[in-house]
Amino acid sequence: MFTGASAACVTVGATLQRAELHFHLLPGVDDGPADLAEAVELARLAVADGTSLVTVTPHVRDLLRRGILREVPARVEVVAAALGRAGVPLELRTGAELAHDDVEHLSDAELDAIAQGPSGARWVLLEAPLFGPEAGAFLATTAEVRARGFGTLIGHPERCPDLMRDPGALAAERRAGAWLQVNGSSLTGLHGAAAYKWGVELLRGGGRAVVIGSDAHRPTRPPVMSAAVAALVEVGVPRALAESFAGAAPRALLRHGIAAPHGARAA
């Protein structure tokens, strides 16, 4: 973790210890920050919002299109160095956000390079499709990823109507070992009434979703973890539980991982 930020920011981050598993901080590669200065500004907003650790998750499709997938760790180091110079106390991890149609283009070694968690329990962030009738293809891909030896964290399922209208599909994913991540921006209403309703239902539904991520992209689409926690408290979720979705749960996934199903081959 880097030092030198204002006392207010350090106090917030140290007290809450929130962690982000879905965050577009890498500049100039996707629809995240346009440049390094904007990335530093976005990181400052994350710290002010109570976050002290971010997994950097650029879109794999854009990395492949630009031919820079292998450059991600070095690019994350550039951002980390800039945060250190600017006195922004934010720890960074290297990751990426997979779409279901990215997976066929990646080797097991490339998947492992963007995965999180310890050996034997590595997992990847796989985004639920936002548009079109692609839920079937998505579910086939989650099964393929697990067969290749990786656990799956499904990003923003509440924004995928095809999945949410088929509760059996998500139930099957959970039985197969998948974990679910709800966007904080869904809980604040950014993505409409249906995504808000489904996000709340997932987080109140007995463990079906256990992680909130802001899916922040730019200072104009900033982190909203505090607002998301407040939205859950407003509908009756105990504050300690709501905070665990933003802190203890994501940190546990980074520390302990998601075990691949029995019989899946190791990466």
pLDDT at 117 over 50: yes
Do residues 60 and 98 touch, judged by C-beta distance below 8 A?
Answer: yes
Q: What is the number of residues in the chain?
A: 267
Q: 170-203 pLDDT, tens per residue? A: 889 999 999 999 999 999 999 999 999 999 999 9
pLDDT band at 208 (very low <50, low <70, confident <90, very high): low
Q: 221-267 pLDDT, tens per residue? A: 999 999 999 999 999 999 999 999 999 999 999 999 998 665 455 44
pLDDT in the model for residue 166: 86
Domains and CATH numbers, the chain: 7-256 (3.20.20.140)
pLDDT in the model for residue 8: 29
- Return the axis-axis angle of helices 135-147 and 167-175, rounded to nearest 10°: 0
Tokens for 208, please give them: 């079906």
Pick from 224, 151, 239, 217: nearest CA to 182: 224
Radius of gyration of the chain (CA): 17
Q: 2-28 pLDDT, tens per residue? A: 222 222 233 333 457 899 999 999 999
Cα–Cα dist 219/227, whole Å: 16
Tokens for 177, please give them: 């070992």
43: number of Cβ within 10 Å: 28
pLDDT at 97 over 90: yes
3-state DSSP assignment of residue 72: helix
